[in-house]
Chain A
Amino acid sequence: MGRLILKDISKKFNDFLALENVNFEVEDGEFVCLLGPSGCGKTTILRLAAGLDSPTDGEIFLDGKKIAGTNKECGFVFQEYALFPWRTAKGNIEFGPQVKGCSKEECERISRHYIDLVGLRGFEDHFPHELSGGMKQRVGIARAYANKPKLLLMDEPFGALDAQTRNIMQAELLRIWEKEHISVLFVTHSVDEAVYLADRVVVMSARPGTVKEIFGINLPRPRIRTSPEANALRDAILRSLGSEIKRAASI
């Protein structure tokens, strides 16, 4: 469950070639981070996987099913949270179950489960504007999970958070992921974050975006952010990424 395959993906916006021949997979239950210089099309890949856009060339499969139109089997977590401001935390989490037509009791049960899971108990009835950034993203994650997706697409979900909250949220995310075990495709531009979170890191090249290198990370979790192995990996990824950033800057 939750195997994503991107096959020869290209994406053109008018005349601008954003992605060219992107090929990679997210295995069932795997945590994959997408790294790359700004504007290399990381977010575009997520949108393609979610079916919010369609590729100009190539195909995307989730569990062998070709994605055409909005992919309702994936959960999307946005950098700016994208919570419904007129719904409480609980209301946001119940959105997915509600549009699917779950009964009131079922919605309640689901939201209670995920509120507990992301540690939002006591904040159920708060509106988004009453919550801190970290809290909002907990709601965002719970809302995505509550929809029972096969795949979680996360677009720099912690990008807007301060460093400390960010670290906490990363740990929290891993805890939740280990419990629910749903595949994750996670966009970030923090190498640190990628090394801490991912099973594999896909490094992308700049315009047009394509897969440059893939790093497997076999370190056991919870990882020590400053362990020699982590440092070595970070160096390798940074080197791969660094040349791309330079190239992107010179384009």
Chain B
Amino acid sequence: MKNSLKILLVVILAILAAGCIGGNKTPQSVSEPINLVKMSGQDMVQRLGTGEIAGFIMWEPYPAIAMTNGYGKPLLYSGQIWKGHPCCVVAYDYNWYKNTTNADEILKRMALVQLKSVEYINNAKETRSPDHEDLIKYTMEFGGMTDPKAANLSLSDVEFVYAPNIADAQTFITRIQDFGIFDSEKWNQSGYKNASDYANALINKSYSDWASQNKNANLTSVALKTPVTIRYAYLVNDIHELPFYVGWKKGWFKDAGINITLSDGTPFQNGAFEMQKGFKSGVVDIGSLGIPPVIIHRINSNDFTIDDTRVEVVAGMNNEGSVIVVGKNITSMKDLSGKTVGYPGPGTIQHVLFLMEADKEGLKVRY
């Protein structure tokens, strides 16, 4: 008995020693990967403030909030990572489309409201604009902000657009493939020949084309004869999706004959949730989200004979508008080696952008 106790003690000590060695092996060498850790935007701001994370990459308004609070400074705007990169889009559920007789007509009007909202915002961004004050109010409401300074700052690096961009979507598809986020097995089963083939299948430009042809039309004059109800989904506090909020609050959807109800689960925490708990669960007809989740979940879906993760893009929302914000002592991406960086989740646009930047700088990222 005495011996067995001794042996047990030795074993425990050995494990302890192993544990200590394990715990200490985080030397701050340059080759250490950057750790991407998923968290909510609020968490990112707070943890950057306390110094628990070295930085984060997130959609506006969180970067603006962190900066106006003095918690961090911008390291890179996403436009510096990829000039004019597409970000959020408006997409519809393919099952809804199949079961709705006038779906095309509805989508055309959705695209038109989108166009009008984007134009409104782009004009109202000017501080001299009579609508500026209203826009700041909308921005603060939708972005969950209390500081008008942060609202102004967050609008400054978002470029609102209404036309979807096939070529850029193709670039995203290629990069997502490079970064191993697709299940390669599934990609082979999906039947798409290449990134261009997939991008073309994913994005339907006809609605935004119709919208730009009718951009001067009065909404009520082109309104649907019988109003329809659309279950809409968006992401939590995402300033990128402000055009939807403006159109909704201004009553423009209603003018066009579209009643908006928010879907179960809205607002979603990130695009992955909107795809899986929203579109795939059949509770969302139309929604706005980042383009990478749209791209990824169609491919990673288990079954290509059904269309539950098939969504198609009607219109753009915005380009750029994400920021890598860092705390003290960080002046370059290399400084983030071995440190923890917050991000909204795997397969988000911020995830892909961060990997693109790391790729440029020859850094490794663990996520």
Which A residues are within 8 Å of any B CB, using their own CB? 86-87, 91
Interface size class on chain B is under 10
A91 neighbours in B (Cβ, 8 Å)? 1
Complex alpha-carbon distance, A86 and B1, angstroms = 6
* Listed A/B pairs (3) with beta-carbon separation below 8 Å: A86-B1, A87-B1, A91-B1
B1 neighbours in A (Cβ, 8 Å)? 86-87, 91
Interface of B is mostly: loop
Give the residues from 1 to 56 in chain B that come closer than 8 angstroms, CB to CB, to chain A.
Answer: 1
Complex alpha-carbon distance, A91 and B1, angstroms = 9
A87 neighbours in B (Cβ, 8 Å)? 1
A86 neighbours in B (Cβ, 8 Å)? 1
Min Cβ gap A127→B in Å is 9
Min Cβ gap B326→A in Å is 60
Complex alpha-carbon distance, A91 and B5, angstroms = 15
Min Cβ gap A98→B in Å is 10
- Please name the residue on chain B nearest to A91 by beta carbon: B1
Complex alpha-carbon distance, A248 and B1, angstroms = 46
Complex alpha-carbon distance, A87 and B5, angstroms = 13
Complex alpha-carbon distance, A91 and B2, angstroms = 10
Give the residues from 272 to 303 in chain B that come closer than 8 angstroms, CB to CB, to chain A.
Answer: none
Min Cβ gap A211→B in Å is 43
- Please name the residue on chain B nearest to A98 by beta carbon: B2
Complex alpha-carbon distance, A87 and B1, angstroms = 7
- Please name the residue on chain A nearest to B2 by beta carbon: A91
- Please name the residue on chain A nearest to B4 by beta carbon: A86
Chain A proximity mask over B95-115: 1 for CB below 8 Å, otherwise 0: 000000000000000000000
Complex alpha-carbon distance, A86 and B4, angstroms = 11
Min Cβ gap B4→A in Å is 9
- Please name the residue on chain A nearest to B5 by beta carbon: A86
Complex alpha-carbon distance, A87 and B2, angstroms = 9
- Please name the residue on chain B nearest to A127 by beta carbon: B1
Complex alpha-carbon distance, A96 and B209, angstroms = 98
Min Cβ gap B159→A in Å is 76
Min Cβ gap B16→A in Å is 25
Min Cβ gap A174→B in Å is 33
Complex alpha-carbon distance, A116 and B181, angstroms = 76
- Please name the residue on chain B nearest to A85 by beta carbon: B1
Complex alpha-carbon distance, A194 and B1, angstroms = 39
- Please name the residue on chain A nearest to B1 by beta carbon: A86
Min Cβ gap A244→B in Å is 45
Min Cβ gap B228→A in Å is 79
Min Cβ gap B181→A in Å is 57
